[in-house]
A and B are shown apart, each in its own frame.
Chain A
Amino acid sequence: MTLATHEVQQLNQAIQAAMRAVRSGGPQSAGGFGQQFGGGFGMPGGNGAWEQQLSDQVRERIRDAVRERVTQTASERLAASARKRIHEATRRRLGADIRAALIEGQGGPEGFDLDRVQTKLSERLGEALHDRAVEAIREGAREAIRERLNTACREAVMNSVVAQHLGRDEAEQIGSKIRESLESELRERIAAAARDALKEEIRERVHKAVRERLPEAMQAGLAQMQSGGGDPERLIMVVRERLGDAVEERVAEGIKERLRETVRDSVEETLQDRLPTAVRSAISERLMARQFGVGTQRYGAGGGSLGGQQFGAGTVSGAMTDSLRERIAENFRERIDEEMSERLGSLIKERLESAQRERLGEAVRGALAEQMALGGGFDADQIAEAVRDRIADHLCDTVAHGIRERLAEFLREHLTASVRSAVSQSATRGETGAGASTMGLH
């Protein structure tokens, strides 16, 4: 059988058309497969249109998934963490706060003033509960968002055109990168927004609960005290019991309501500000890695006369990354060993001394005055508890704040220096950029 000339000519025309399509990256409004995924997908590189298409689709999918999966769950989990902390704080310090407020309430121009007691108790308790709630949210934010954010990013990328074009492994890595980029930003935004948004809410809720419940609680407490031989601790115990649940309930409810919108706004802001860059850079990074042969991806399995070709030696960028990572870690470790423990040790000592100077005397005086005012004699345990309540939170806050500041300063200073040093060492040894040929990149 001979080949008809027109068949050869038709084949040639088809080849030329396909060649043009491959070189140009394909028409952008094609139907069929392309239409299914929002247009034809051409070659990576060039003007970046292909990469942009991938990024656009992934971004929209992640946006929807994060809104749907992260917002509600995160706010519920954070509200639960905050509630637990509020419960602990209320149980731990309400007695001491009532005791202090009762003493302060006696100092009015006309003797005992219940309004003054209410105000002082609300102020003390509101401030303390706000601090504890914010602390719980900051500590719990990582766990609250990580799992759902990870699932949302992963599934969004796996179900996008990225997985079809780059494969499931690449999609996994891209999802993970995007999650990493979003997570810290979202965590910080939630913590900062919660600090601002909850302050007034908690203060209001505490104030309302105290105003509603304190008079009745005082009456019940006074009756108990009189029947118990005038023991002021019985008064405090009854007031604490009657007030504790109400305060806890109201505050937890307020936190839950306010957190819902706080988390939603933080998610929206993070998606708006961070998502486009996170997606684009994650996809670019993987595409670059593929282009320069990371892993063992093989292109073209054919082995015949017109068979495919193999590209990429396999581990060039991987080896480069590993080497650089090791070097940075080594540099950083050395610096930590030398300075970190010394710096933190001195910081903690300094902060503790300062806090004791500022607050301990006042705390002891207050505790003694409290004992005298309540007429309960000098009970060592109660004095210890009162002193602890007066300074423990302040000590924790001041030390934690100092460590956070010092750590941030240390990381800014030394992490940058470690990376710079490691990169310059690598460059000297020809492991990056210009030295790629020594790693097998030709």
Chain B
Amino acid sequence: MHPELIEIMRDQVCTIYRAVTGADLPTAEPATSEPEPSLEEVTRSFAELEALARTSPALSERVPPFSFTPPLDVFLDGEDLLIEVAVPGVERNDVTVECADGTLVISGIRRGHRGSQERPYSGEIPYGPFYRALRVPLPMSSEPTVGLDRGLLRVRLMSLATNNQTQEATPSPSQPQS
């Protein structure tokens, strides 16, 4: 689990609580003698809460969806593969892009921005964790170039041929230039 996901989950719980009661979530009670739940159990409880909240039309309209699958476009740019993923409101540091065994995995977190004084009125833009996996159709480099501009994540995978040429042309930092 992403280390900061727990904070975002707590934000979502607070949002649901506010939407239902109109009040802030009470401060956590002191720990009891009961055994501490595992992270897996807490995650399951969170999923149950989410599902329960979605059974109410009134709540569904006011609490934004938690977790999402961002839409993406894939282009062939010359011999390179260019993937554009729509992730508005996401910081570059919150995105992870990995390519292994011919599969490109893009995951990350869109953080909420709600302050404690804000009350949920209508929530449609999803936040929380996102995830996309894409089978790369051609033999490509496993080291993607990633950039984020105006909410669009651009992932470029160079073809193996181009990649090799680039590596050959670029002197190694350990080798002194002549």
A residues in contact (CB < 8 Å) with B: 1-3, 5-19, 21-23, 25-27, 30-36, 39-44, 50, 164-167, 290, 297, 299-309, 311
B54 at interface, CB cutoff 8 A: yes
Could you say which residues of chain B place their CB within 8 Å of the CB of A43? 55-56, 58-59
B-side interface size class: 35 or more
Question: Which 9 interchain pairs have the tightest Cβ spacing?
Answer: A34-B22, A304-B67, A302-B65, A30-B22, A33-B119, A1-B3, A26-B21, A299-B60, A26-B20
State the Cβ distance, A301 to closest chain B Cβ, in Å: 5
State the Cβ distance, B15 to closest chain A Cβ, in Å: 9
- B67 engages A306 (CB within 8 Å): yes
Known contacts A306-B47, A309-B51; is-contact A17 B25 (Cβ 8 Å): yes
Q: Which of B83-91, B127-135, B160-168 contacts A (4 or more CB under 8 A)?
A: B127-135
- B23 engages A34 (CB within 8 Å): yes
Could you say which residues of chain A place their CB within 8 Å of the CB of B46? 11, 15, 306
In the assembly, what is the distance between CA of A300 and CA of B63, in Å? 9
Tell me which residues from 42 to 87 in chain B have a Cβ below 8 Å from any Cβ of chain A. 42, 45-61, 65-69
Of B31, B59, B122, most buried by chain A (CB within 10 Å of CB) is B59
- B17 engages A9 (CB within 8 Å): no
B112 at interface, CB cutoff 8 A: no
- Sample (16) of A-B pairs whose CB atoms are under 8 Å apart: A1-B3, A9-B28, A10-B10, A10-B28, A12-B42, A17-B25, A17-B26, A18-B17, A22-B53, A33-B19, A34-B21, A301-B68, A301-B124, A302-B66, A307-B68, A309-B54
B156 at interface, CB cutoff 8 A: no
State the Cβ distance, B117 to closest chain A Cβ, in Å: 9
In the assembly, what is the distance between CA of A41 and CA of B58, in Å? 9
Residue of A nearest to B132 (CB): A304
Could you say which residues of chain A place their CB within 8 Å of the CB of B26? 17
Could you say which residues of chain B place their CB within 8 Å of the CB of A166? 57-58
Could you say which residues of chain A place their CB within 8 Å of the CB of B25? 14, 17-18
**Which of B19, B22, B124 interacts with A31 by CB under 8 Å?**
B22
In the assembly, what is the distance between CA of A13 and CA of B28, in Å? 6
- A8 engages B37 (CB within 8 Å): yes
- B58 engages A44 (CB within 8 Å): yes
State the Cβ distance, B65 to closest chain A Cβ, in Å: 3
In the assembly, what is the distance between CA of A5 and CA of B75, in Å? 44
Residue of B nearest to A309 (CB): B54
- B3 engages A2 (CB within 8 Å): yes
Could you say which residues of chain A place their CB within 8 Å of the CB of B9? 11
- B51 engages A21 (CB within 8 Å): no
B138 at interface, CB cutoff 8 A: no
Could you say which residues of chain A place their CB within 8 Å of the CB of B52? 19, 22-23
In the assembly, what is the distance between CA of A164 and CA of B19, in Å? 12
Residue of A nearest to B10 (CB): A11
- B126 engages A302 (CB within 8 Å): yes
**Which of A50, A290, A304 interacts with B130 by CB under 8 Å?**
A304
